[in-house]
Chain A
Amino acid sequence: METNLIKKRQLVKYYLILPAAVLLIGTTVIPILYMLYTSLFRLDPVVFNGKWPFIGLGNYLYLIKNDPMFWTSLARTLKFLLYTVTPQIAVGLFLATLMYREFKGKRLVQTILLFPILATPIIVAMIWKYFFDFDTGFLNLMLKNIGLQPQPWLSTKGLPLVDAIPVLGPWLVNKFSLTYAFRTICFVNFWQWTPFCFLVLYSGMTSLPSEVYEASSIDGASAWQTFRYVTLPLLSKLIIAVVFIRVIDSLKVYAQIWVLFGNAETTRVINIHLYTLGFTTSDYGMASALGVIIILLIAAFVGVTIKLGGKGNAQ
């Protein structure tokens, strides 16, 4: 009788978790396994009967060997990470330091900074598509009003200062994606996600013991010294966590780029390339293979981070 009760108690924890687990496994693990399977076939979207020719690793080999856009979009994804996450953390940290004091209107500014984090990504992209528009956009309207040249913010032209460098210019533009369009995409991402970095770093700072700041101000440390020798070391773990979260989230980017430039080759990141393979060229098998590659790359990144993090903890 008693053992039955204990058994029942032990089973309860599984009953409680079951519905959520079924939903989560059913909608993540099963699709991933199915994608592994479909990536080995040449899927025909017209004759959609499941009897597809098996081509082994053919899709993977094609992507790696014969699809230059695969490598280009992969490299561009990495550039996108570098150009978005770095300024987001830097400015987020600056804003957090700036706001770490009482002043009039602080709550309002915090509310203003909260909104972009939750705003619909495609609407954010839409807002900036209007602001950056060449003929009617707000920015060029302002430039014209103060007598400056309107800029082709949404074009694939190289940035003027870089592009003007003889011989080397076009190469640099190409190598580092220094085009107006790509900068615009990075800016839109920066605008939407810097507030998140600010918010997390700010709440990290407010949870630090206030004595350390009092001590450093008594010792006569300058604002920069306090930041460099007090805030930064104490926040280092949190900063790494925010970088990690931002990298993971930046890798999910899709809607913003899609709305601004569709699948244009000069701004194509890996997610857009997958969509293009799947729904423009209707090559479901190839797109599945790319999905598998993306997941493997991210798993490798996360694995390395966890391993490095573990080492850091051990020391």
Chain B
Amino acid sequence: MLNKALAAKTTRKTFFYLIIFLVALMWAFPILWIIVGSFKTDRMIISQSLNLLFKPTLTNYSRIFSTHNFGKFLVNSLLVAFGTSVIVLTTSFPASYSLSRYKTGGEMMTLGILITRIAPPAAVLMPIFIIFKNLSLINNLWALILVNISLNMSFSLLLMKSFIDEIPVSIEEAATIEGATLFQIMRKLIFPLARSGIITTSIFTFIFSWNEYLFAMVLCSSNRVKTLPVAAGDFITAYAIEWGPIFASGTLILLPILLLTFMVQRYIVKGLTVGAVK
């Protein structure tokens, strides 16, 4: 009797781990396979055997950097992602403070911010393109930074606000009594206390602008200002697909995101769940 129950328990446990293993496999394997594949030659990738054991080569990487100028695209991508993050952070921090502490604009303001996040970016593709064309800002990285600010601002405001909301007001009241100015309070008190909010917001703004494809493709298509996703997209939509360089550029683009996922997981989980769970 006892043995039977034990056996049933073991079967259930095995079954459970089998499902977990399949889940992990389904979500990890494709990425691992591409990363490993980026160190194979084109011939090996398209051959009809799996080539599990092979001599790794850096040909794909040297090709994308030497013949396709990925160094330049990498710099462009970094400029856009850092530029966007810095501007979004410096403007959304004081704004979120105002929203959190003074309830500036009331419920309507929060709703308005939310609404700007709802429309699909593709819907405003035309006016943004026409406006920048009129301003002769096509193929200019600033145009792309401006669009990325637009795409990230509302999310950052709401995310940062939820972090500042958690800081007790009583600390500020004490500081005010001791004669601290508002600027001092924000810089010396709120800024360090909202540290995890600031880190979370920067991570998301950085990744979202690093990943952005549609506007980058429309606004910055010339080689001088191309970003990495657009350059990778050119490979994929090209007539003859070369998997080697595609895998290498994919690995290059995913690398910072992979590192962030492992290093600052706590912040990412918080950022993704904070809005929905509330």
Chain A residues in the interface with B (C-beta under 8 A): 12-14, 16-17, 19-21, 23-24, 27-32, 34-35, 38, 43, 48, 50, 95, 98, 103, 105, 108-109, 111-123, 125-131, 135-136, 138, 141, 144, 191, 195-196, 199-200, 203-204, 207, 238, 241-242, 245, 248, 251-252, 254-255, 258-259, 262, 271, 274-275, 278-279, 284, 287-288, 291, 294-295, 298, 302
Task: Report whether B126 and A98 are in contact in the complex, using a CB–CB cutoff of 8 Å.
Answer: no
Which residue, A27, A30, A113, A136, has most C-beta atoms of chain B within 10 A?
A27
User: Which residues of the other chain, A, contact B199 by a CB distance below 8 angstroms?
Assistant: none
Task: Report whether A16 and B98 are in contact in the complex, using a CB–CB cutoff of 8 Å.
Answer: yes
User: Which residues of the other chain, A, contact B113 by a CB distance below 8 angstroms?
Assistant: 24
User: Which residues of the other chain, A, contact B168 by a CB distance below 8 angstroms?
Assistant: none
Other-chain contact of A115, B123, B130, B154, B261 (Cβ < 8 Å): B261
CA of A298 to CA of B105, assembled, Å: 24
Task: Report whether A13 and B98 are in contact in the complex, using a CB–CB cutoff of 8 Å.
Answer: yes
CA of A252 to CA of B17, assembled, Å: 36
User: Which residues of the other chain, B, contact A122 by a CB distance below 8 angstroms?
Assistant: 211, 213, 229, 232-233, 236
Shortest CB distance B181–A (Å): 10
Task: Report whether A103 and B20 are in contact in the complex, using a CB–CB cutoff of 8 Å.
Answer: yes
Shortest CB distance A235–B (Å): 11
Supposing A17-B98, A122-B233, A238-B277 touch, asked if A24 and B150 sit within 8 A by C-beta, the answer is yes
- Complex interface: stretch among B2-10, B56-64, B67-75, B114-122: B114-122
Task: Report whether A34 and B131 are in contact in the complex, using a CB–CB cutoff of 8 Å.
Answer: yes
- Interface residue B253 (Cβ < 8 Å from any Cβ of A): yes
- Interface residue B135 (Cβ < 8 Å from any Cβ of A): no
| 8 A/B residue pairs, CB under 8 Å, sorted by A | A19-B91, A27-B128, A32-B127, A98-B19, A114-B268, A118-B260, A122-B236, A284-B130
Task: Report whether A23 and B149 are in contact in the complex, using a CB–CB cutoff of 8 Å.
Answer: yes
Other-chain contact of A123, B99, B131, B253 (Cβ < 8 Å): B253
User: Which residues of the other chain, A, contact B23 by a CB distance below 8 angstroms?
Assistant: 95, 98, 109, 113
Task: Report whether B261 and A118 are in contact in the complex, using a CB–CB cutoff of 8 Å.
Answer: yes
- Interface residue B243 (Cβ < 8 Å from any Cβ of A): yes
Could you list 16 further interchain pairs (A-B, Cβ under 8 angstroms) beyond the known A108-B24, A120-B210? A17-B95, A17-B98, A19-B94, A20-B92, A24-B113, A31-B124, A32-B119, A32-B127, A112-B27, A117-B272, A123-B232, A130-B247, A200-B272, A255-B229, A258-B213, A275-B122
User: Which residues of the other chain, B, contact A203 by a CB distance below 8 angstroms?
Assistant: 269, 273, 277
Task: Report whether B125 and A127 are in contact in the complex, using a CB–CB cutoff of 8 Å.
Answer: no
User: Which residues of the other chain, A, contact B153 by a CB distance below 8 angstroms?
Assistant: 20, 23-24, 27
Other-chain contact of B123, A108, A248, A294 (Cβ < 8 Å): A294
Supposing A111-B262, A129-B236 touch, asked if A19 and B122 sit within 8 A by C-beta, the answer is no
Output the nearest chain B residue to A198 by Cβ-Cβ distance: B23
Task: Report whether A16 and B236 are in contact in the complex, using a CB–CB cutoff of 8 Å.
Answer: no
- Interface residue B86 (Cβ < 8 Å from any Cβ of A): no
CA of A109 to CA of B19, assembled, Å: 11
User: Which residues of the other chain, A, contact B124 by a CB distance below 8 angstroms?
Assistant: 28, 31-32, 35, 291
Task: Report whether A123 and B150 are in contact in the complex, using a CB–CB cutoff of 8 Å.
Answer: no
